Structure 1
């Protein structure tokens, strides 16, 4: 099998039904329920093919059923009566939305016990997207976010390890601006050796499955938890790796808006290879400053973003400066410690990146051309000459 490359076609995988409506006294009535983004409407026409007399009293639009995921990603089923005759869930009138669980009874009529035989919800266990399972063996969780989990995956044919980001698709009816698709589009458009690559993409009606490069050493945040702070030489290399990635992003008019240690992935420490990840909050500049929405991780947000001012790509420079500071001093340390930095060259760069006024703030080019970053390059060249 050929190795997938960045930019593959998204695999739309038909999802199995997540439940079935079964008529208690008429087993021929079995209606599969699929996940949808808007309520499913049930009425007389739904049951006409079964030729059951008891269903003739149903109205054209008798009740709606919404299938969604709750805050812990558990499937829930919500019934709402749309009729004059009445819809009951376990004997309770569903005039307002009622949750019905697997095995719950839905009856119709003017009283809970009057009308057609009850319909019973039964669950058919939802399986993951079958096509991804044909190509990858999905393993343990290696990371978690608000709307996603990252799992370890092995390709069947080579046993190569990858990371699979499993992202819940939006529950809101009529939601068209899919943030996951936007993230995928950005990573595909902005190709750089220090930006994490997408290997393949799968999706079904409930979730996206984004197969990405696996960072064997985790994130810079993981490194901080292990060491409390990072050597200045590695912090310098972090700036050397991430600044060009951000330059590439900004040249294409994208703003990341969530630069922080957790989004810097470590692929190697010798030589250092660090990549920028998680473009879920990234946006494209449309010829001017971005809107005033506050997004990101608060302790890494630029001052103009927090204060509801219009902002542009320079917020990423402040966030990267704050990230480099966290690597040097520790993740929870206050910026007041910056003057204590013993290296004047490092202090100069970080103070330039953390300038409150974006008009005065250092550019990425200034950071890359700073004496702090050039200093170690000169030392490395001298060491190589000595070894020769």
Structure 2
């Protein structure tokens, strides 16, 4: 522990309590206060004059429980090192106060941000949630439960497009598989029902709290928001499932995640592993310092497939790399580097589009001189003639001809549908068909039609893949959101 900073202890029995002062720092403004601590903005007197937040805990206000909470917070923060968790720079003490010198976050907390915005759009919320999830994954890997997740304990590094950081680890615990707690922890609005209704709980309470935070961001209020404590108590004890507000437009993945997080029974609640892998959270594609290396590795594999003529796999990998390039562009702060990445992305996506054109099914050759081919010149007409005594085969031949016409007109979805219907009939008949010209010709043409159908299917598969770099548009949307409605956080 760092040595005392204010000289020898006072010899007075009850020294007067003065405002907190810390050698080497200048306190500027009060940022907030709690039951036993006040947080100030301050800066170092020497060197770079770094701005910090100093949590000043009055020793005389501490009882046994609050002392344990403070020691837990110090112990955990000393060990934790993650971009989405508030960093503990140092801790000191004097006769009256214990000082936790913390990383300063100029954007205030998420609670103030929500109040200033009223609601948060889903695309912005997703960015926020990915950062919360990354921090929770880090804690989960160390068997740490936060136990007091709420908007007030999530800080923003700035007012514009901030990074989120989880703070206040006073209630946190090291938990292991099967561990249960019995003490009341957390804040009622964000507290999982089992804490109050059952009195026993485990780390899954953090998942409930995340669900409440998402709900409040999207809808402007917590699901148990109440005017009185009695009303809150009734809602907590009510067994009715939490519902999404009527008429609110959110994606299916977002809705699914909220409802699975806000299950009253922790055994029915989404697990941590399921949460981290949920498609709405999508940690695989969140903006991070790893995004660019993931993109480069993926596109390198795409180039190899491309060079080997494996065009379908190459297109898929080019498009998959886009899922990493876009967050890499968002993560990069240097504008020149952003533009350099975008230039490479454009190059790769142009190649993907070129490969799509190469995979486009070729039109069937037209009859010479514009005349219809005779039965002897056209195997399709020959098989039509051989099948005219069977209604099902005649109908299948009609479907094949329709498919070939649609293929030539680039109506690929209809062509595939008709090829598949016709083939299902021919394959069944071929099995029991007697040897002869019809069976031989049918066997040859089935392979031709299957090949045509497969090419169409492959083309349709790759045609739907996204090859547009939307990072500029997304950044513009984010910029407009933060510029048009200022957070109002000092």
The TM-score by the shorter chain falls in which range?
0.5 to 0.7
Q: 2:85 aligns with which of 172, 178, 195?
A: 195
Q: Kindly state the Cα deviation for residue 362 of structure 1 after the two structures are TM-superposed.
A: 1.4
Q: Kindly state the Cα deviation for residue 286 of structure 1 after the two structures are TM-superposed.
A: 5.8
Structure 2, unaligned stretches of length 5 or more? 225-241, 287-322, 328-466, 474-490
Residue matched to 1:63: none
Q: Distance in 1 between matches of 2:65 and 2:187?
A: 24
Q: Give the match's secondary structure for 1:152.
A: strand
Q: Distance in 1 between matches of 2:173 and 2:245?
A: 30
Deviations 1:227-273 (A, max 9, x none): 11112122111210011211221222221111001111111466541
Q: Kindly state the Cα deviation for residue 386 of structure 1 after the two structures are TM-superposed.
A: 7.7
Q: 1:326 aligns with which of 208, 211, 216?
A: 216
Q: Kindly state the Cα deviation for residue 310 of structure 1 after the two structures are TM-superposed.
A: 2.1
CA RMSD of aligned residues (A): 3.1
Please state if 1:10 is matched with 2:2.
yes
TM-score (norm 1): 0.63
Q: Give the match's secondary structure for 1:194.
A: coil
Q: Kindly state the Cα deviation for residue 151 of structure 1 after the two structures are TM-superposed.
A: 0.4
Q: Is the 8 A contact 1:341 1:347 kept in 2?
A: no
* Residue 371 to residue 124, structure 1, CA distance change in 2 (3 Å): closer
Q: Distance in 1 between matches of 2:45 and 2:194?
A: 48
* Residue 125 to residue 224, structure 1, CA distance change in 2 (3 Å): closer
Q: 1:156 aligns with which of 31, 36, 45?
A: 45
Please state if 1:205 is matched with 2:290.
no
Q: Give the match's secondary structure for 2:280.
A: helix
Q: Kindly state the Cα deviation for residue 366 of structure 1 after the two structures are TM-superposed.
A: 2.4
Q: Distance in 1 between matches of 2:191 and 2:219?
A: 18
Q: Distance in 1 between matches of 2:216 and 2:50?
A: 33
Structure 1, unaligned stretches of length 5 or more? 1-8, 19-31, 35-66, 68-122
Q: 1:266 aligns with which of 137, 142, 156?
A: 156
Please state if 1:185 is matched with 2:270.
no
Residue matched to 1:359: 267
In the alignment of these two chains, the number of paired residues is: 277
* Residue 295 to residue 125, structure 1, CA distance change in 2 (3 Å): closer
Deviations 1:119-138 (A, max 9, x none): xxxx6674645xx32x2111
TM-score (norm 2): 0.51
* Residue 296 to residue 14, structure 1, CA distance change in 2 (3 Å): same
Residue matched to 1:33: 12
Q: Distance in 2 between matches of 1:145 and 1:386?
A: 41
Q: Distance in 2 between matches of 1:317 and 1:302?
A: 9
